[in-house]
């Protein structure tokens, strides 16, 4: 039963023994034609409003480390994850963000670049950051160990958080849809209502998880300067 449930996340479309399901990662580009960017409309105005809000928030978090265009990478990260999360809610579209291979490919390079930049250019600040101000001398070795471990697991926690949330929602929706053939017909309407509510919840989760991974990446970036 469990293998059947988790098989919904397996790439299943193959051409010449190559999986093309991962191409769905770039399907978001098809929904943004050139006219979207140049002809003002309500969708363009709404999306521009969201991006400006994110830009201002990321700019505040970066503080003195902000320079022109530095928020672009985090806004792009938010948009990329958001499109993939939403596309995964549609039937027969591969959910790429439910795989650690993608989420870890996003979080690990970001974390490595932040750590390398921090240790190469601001190594004194990185050492100071390991021991919070006011820490007793006897606890300093333990604090260094704890801070080191917490830094090392950051890319893993970012990746697992995104993947686990996507998997949990899709598994629950799959379980509910499989119940349609075993429950009485007069309960079908209640099952449909529950699935609609769950779909709304999953849409909110898709937005929240996109925001979380972008905001945490911004915070990690601000810590290395």
Mean pLDDT along residues 148-158: 90
Under the banding of pLDDT at 50, 70 and 90, the label for residue 11 is: low
According to the model, what pLDDT value does residue 108 have? 92
pLDDT at 208 over 90: yes
pLDDT at 13 over 70: no
According to the model, what pLDDT value does residue 21 have? 64
Mean pLDDT along residues 15-28: 60
Q: Which residue has the higher pLDDT, 12 or 116?
A: 116
Under the banding of pLDDT at 50, 70 and 90, the label for residue 17 is: very low
pLDDT in tens, 28-39: 666 665 555 556
HEC profile of the chain: CHHHHHHHHCCCCEECCEECHHHHHHHHHHHCCHHHHHCCCHHHHHHHHHHHHHHHHHHHHHHHHCCCCCCHHHHHHHHHHHHHHHHCCCCCCCCHHHCHHHHHHHHHHHHHHHHHHHHHHCHHHHHHHCCCCCCCHHHHHHHHHHHHHHHHCHHHHHHHHHHHHHHHHHHHHHHHHHHHHCCCHHHHHHHHHHHHHHHHHHHHHHHHHHHHHHHHHHHHHHHCC
Under the banding of pLDDT at 50, 70 and 90, the label for residue 214 is: very high
According to the model, what pLDDT value does residue 130 have? 80
Mean pLDDT along residues 118-139: 80
What percent of the chain has pLDDT above 90?
Answer: 12
Of the listed ranges 41-55, 99-113, 153-167, the one predicted with least confidence: 41-55
Of the listed ranges 12-21, 120-129, 160-169, 182-191, the one predicted with least confidence: 12-21
According to the model, what pLDDT value does residue 3 have? 47
Mean pLDDT along residues 112-141: 82
pLDDT at 220 over 70: yes
């Amino acid at each position: 039963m469990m293998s059947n449930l988790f098989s919904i996340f397996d790439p299943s479309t193959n051409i010449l023994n190559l999986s093309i399901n991962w191409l769905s990662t770039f399907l978001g580009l098809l929904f943004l034609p050139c006219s979207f960017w140049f002809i003002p409309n309500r969708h363009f105005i709404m999306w521009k409003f969201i991006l400006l809000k994110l830009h201002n928030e990321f700019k505040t978090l970066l503080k003195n480390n902000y320079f022109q265009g530095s928020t672009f990478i985090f806004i792009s990260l938010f948009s990329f994850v958001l499109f993939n999360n939403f596309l995964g809610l549609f039937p027969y579209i591969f959910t790429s963000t439910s795989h650690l291979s993608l989420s870890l490919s996003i979080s690990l390079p970001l974390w490595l670049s932040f750590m390398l930049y921090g240790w190469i250019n601001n190594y004194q600040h990185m050492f100071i950051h390991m021991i919070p101000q006011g820490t007793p001398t006897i606890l300093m070795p333990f604090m260094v160990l704890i801070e080191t471990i917490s830094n090392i697991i950051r890319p893993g926690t970012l990746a697992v958080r995104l993947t686990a949330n996507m998997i949990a929602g899709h598994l629950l929706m799959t379980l509910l849809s499989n119940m349609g053939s075993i429950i009485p017909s007069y309960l079908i309407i209640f099952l449909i209502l529950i699935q609609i509510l769950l779909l709304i919840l999953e849409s909110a989760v898709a937005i929240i998880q996109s925001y979380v991974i972008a905001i945490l990446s911004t915070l990690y970036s601000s810590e290395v300067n």
